[in-house]
Amino acid sequence: METKIVTKLESLSKKIKNLKTKGKKIVQCHGVFDVLHLGHIKHFKTAKSLGDILIVTVTADQYVNKGPNRPIFELQKRMEMLSSLDSVDIVFPNFSSNAVDALKIVKPDIYCKGKEYRDHSLDSSGQITKESKFVKNYGGKIFYTTDEIFSSSKIINQSGFNLNNLQKKFLLDLKKNVRNRFFPKKIIDNYDNLKILVIGESIIDDYVACETLGKSGKEPVLVLRDIESKQFLGGALSIANNLANFSRDITLISALGEKKEFSKMINDNLNKSIKKKFILKKNSSTILKKRYVDNINHTKIFGVYTINDEPLNKDSEIKFHNLIKKEIVKADLVIVSDYGHGLISKKTADFILKKSKFLAINAQLNAANVGHHTISMYKGADLVIINENEMRHELRNKVDEKEKLIKLLSKNLKSKYTVVTSGNHGSTLYIRSKNKILKCPAFASKVRDKVGTGDTMLASLALSIYKKDNVYFSMLFSALAAAQNIQFMANSKTLNKVNIIKSLESYLK
């Protein structure tokens, strides 16, 4: 018996050509189809009744934007489930983020969608409008079924297929603490007109993929052979890039080396809408953090930093201060990520604190600044984000419970909102005015590289907290943003607004 699953484009094209030559009317359905349910069965039966041949194109795993831990079933298993249905004639994988590419291949007489897509404005991705336009342009028709709607995401969330107990509890608490239904697209679109100022060091992350050759023949040294090097924007550059996917008005104030190293790479990779304000740091190069990575399992072997972490000289600090003075009065939200590499002095920090309408801060500890960098010079910031190890180092306390320490840190810093991140244990938010602690579990399912995850969380959480969104929503938004970042090496990908919205919609069903 001929299989219904077709994996090669040439084979599908040949089948479609033969069917059309015979005058067969082709109907196409498209989707993820993660958990097959009654809604799908009815939808396919209706679709098949509209023509002679029903082709179902299926989104490949890497393009599923339903949130971490999705899809539940890998592509091959989803296609096998669909091929078992009598109403389905051909199943084909779509290695693309949208259905337009699948439609270009099939060009069905009728493209069939559920009734929930009839109102295009309700589709957060905006894809149905593009799909409809494409179908009409080549002379096809789009048909919306009237069958009962079931949600795979809702079924999955309620059954707990993709959630651990902490995640289920958090989502239940979220739904208990909101009065009205959430519309994530509307909430996140509301960030678009925010005027945001980002201040911090510009960092280039250089990842050198290596093959391990073994021990040197003459010395007790591990020998590696470098294969390829990839460079990514890091530090304040990556924060600004992520924010530019949510707001149209981003200003970045930072420093480059006096010879402007990597300036072309920065210009080529920084979102064009970002207003860049750079000073040149004397006797310094642009900060380069090189990490040597095993080419097979992608684990880091060791790192080398090219950095001058001396404070700015007097002239440079005046230029830096004047840039901030000019831009900070325009900003609704100021985001500072201080890596302790000599860019921001106590005097500058005091000025930022005094002039910011809303200040979100992350003062990170790293191998270059342990022992002399502290978040305490940002007393009075509205939102503080800190790693649990950094908090314990700040408070010189490694034994007391996290909840006790976060309250102490908030009291010391006089911060309105304090967030402590704890890796795969999630994050904890303390609201000082309400003496309220909220714990949010991690939602990442694929951990590739933790570099940049804290910055991603800072950017997303600052947006939502500033806008006074429900704090449960804010924490989920930032957790999903962190989960999206951590599955890629360094900051090789910026946050995808549509994918974040789709993930939120999936979890809030």
Whether the Cβ atoms of residue 281 and residue 258 lie closer than 8 Å to each other:
yes
Predicted TM-score (pTM) of this structure: 0.82
Whether residue 92 is found in the same domain as residue 29: yes
Whether residue 274 is found in the same domain as residue 323: yes
pLDDT at residue 216, rounded to an integer: 85
CA distance 54 to 45: 9
Consecutive H or E run containing 39:
helix 38-49
* Confidence grade of residue 139 (pLDDT, cut at 50, 70, 90): very high
3-class SS shares of the chain: helix, strand, coil, % to 5:
40, 25, 35
The whole-number average pLDDT for the span 161-187 is 82
Whether residue 152 is found in the same domain as residue 226: no
Distance from the first to the final alpha carbon of the chain: 40
Number of domains comprising the chain = 2
The whole-number average pLDDT for the span 478-500 is 89
Residue 275 pLDDT greater than 50, yes or no:
yes
**Sign of torsion over alpha carbons 167, 171, 172, 176:** positive
* Confidence grade of residue 161 (pLDDT, cut at 50, 70, 90): low
CATH number at residue 105: 3.40.50.620
CATH number at residue 426: 3.40.1190.20
Whether residue 69 is found in the same domain as residue 29: yes
Whether residue 130 is found in the same domain as residue 14: yes
Cross-strand pairs, 113: 144
Q: Does 439 map to a domain?
A: yes
Residue 441 pLDDT greater than 90, yes or no:
yes
The whole-number average pLDDT for the span 74-93 is 94
Model confidence pLDDT, tens digit, residues 353-404: 999 999 999 986 665 555 556 788 899 999 999 999 889 988 999 999 999 9
Q: How far is CA 499 from CA 57, 67, 449, in A?
A: 20, 8, 19
Q: Does 2 map to a domain?
A: no
Mean pLDDT estimate for the chain: 90
Whether residue 220 is found in the same domain as residue 75: no
The residue from 138, 157, 176 where one domain ends is 157
Q: Does 479 map to a domain?
A: yes
Q: Does 167 map to a domain?
A: no
pLDDT at residue 287, rounded to an integer: 96
Q: Does 3 map to a domain?
A: no
Whether residue 136 is found in the same domain as residue 203: no
Greater pLDDT, 63 or 409: 409
Lowest mean pLDDT across 131-140, 156-165, 178-187, 491-500: 156-165
* Confidence grade of residue 203 (pLDDT, cut at 50, 70, 90): very high
Residue 435 pLDDT greater than 50, yes or no:
yes
Whether residue 330 is found in the same domain as residue 385: yes
Whether residue 228 is found in the same domain as residue 151: no
Residue 309 pLDDT greater than 50, yes or no:
yes
Residue 1 pLDDT greater than 50, yes or no:
no
Measured at the CA of 506, the angle between CA 164 and CA 42, to 5 degrees, comes to: 110
The whole-number average pLDDT for the span 437-454 is 88
Range of the domain at 278: 185-508
Residue 509 pLDDT greater than 80, yes or no:
no
Whether residue 213 is found in the same domain as residue 326: yes
The whole-number average pLDDT for the span 96-119 is 90
Amino acid at 486: I
Residue 286 pLDDT greater than 90, yes or no:
yes
Q: Does 492 map to a domain?
A: yes
Whether residue 202 is found in the same domain as residue 60: no
Q: Does 498 map to a domain?
A: yes
CA distance 450 to 455: 10
Q: Does 179 map to a domain?
A: no
